[in-house]
Amino acid sequence: MKTKTVNINDRELLELCGSGNNSGYSLLYQRYSKAVFNSIFRIVNDREDAEDILQEVFLKAFSEIKSLKNTDSFGGWIKRIGINHSLTFLRKKKIYFAEIDDDKMLDINDDELDEKLALETRVEELQDAIAGLPLQIRTIVNLLLFEEMSQEEVAKSLNIPHGTVRSYYHRAKKKIFEKLTQKCQNERFA
């Protein structure tokens, strides 16, 4: 049956859902649950919480599936629901994002940091460095890098000024660079 499901597009699966055929729901879940889970997990950083949120996201999506206007965008739509639920989860845990003044930003050339990061890091080390960041900073980095949201979209989603997103991201790049540089130095002297 797996080969048949590859050939079924989202529109056809949504039509199955609309006609009351439960296999449409099941196949949509199979198709998108892993990607949505990964997005949620990168934000909340706890497997059990991410699994709970994932179930809530699919329940919400399936209950509101008729409100989806563009059936070709189901993947993006459910991923956005997942991100929004994750951010709401953080807010309920009293994790807020504080506004940072632009004048408190550190004076480091962004292009220089980007080049050094690209040259000196591997993906796993980068993910470990990101995972070690404070929750607010990690959330912004994950939304920018892995969810490919713009700084403006992140600011709107978190209900914080664009300058705060930029400041957090700038700090994150500096901390990541410091962690990776320290790791490289430790490896050289080990």
pLDDT digits (tens, 9 = 90+) for 86-132: 988 988 887 655 555 554 444 445 666 555 445 444 666 777 888 88
Task: Evaluate if pTM is beyond 0.75.
Answer: no
Tell me the pLDDT tens digit for each residue of 136-181. Answer: 888 898 888 888 889 999 898 888 899 999 999 988 888 888 887 8
Quick one: average pLDDT of 28-34?
A: 94
Domains and CATH numbers, the chain: 8-91 (1.10.1740.10), 108-187 (1.10.10.10)
Band the pLDDT of 31: cuts 50, 70, 90. Answer: very high
The whole-number pLDDT of residue 121 equals: 44
Whether the CB-CB separation of 45 and 17 falls below 8 Å is answered with no
Return d(Cα 100, Cα 102) in angstroms, integer: 6
Model confidence at 11: pLDDT above 80: yes
Residues composing the chain: 190
The whole-number pLDDT of residue 148 equals: 84
Whether the CB-CB separation of 158 and 148 falls below 8 Å is answered with no
Band the pLDDT of 33: cuts 50, 70, 90. Answer: very high
The whole-number pLDDT of residue 1 equals: 42
Tell me the pLDDT tens digit for each residue of 180-190. Answer: 788 777 776 76
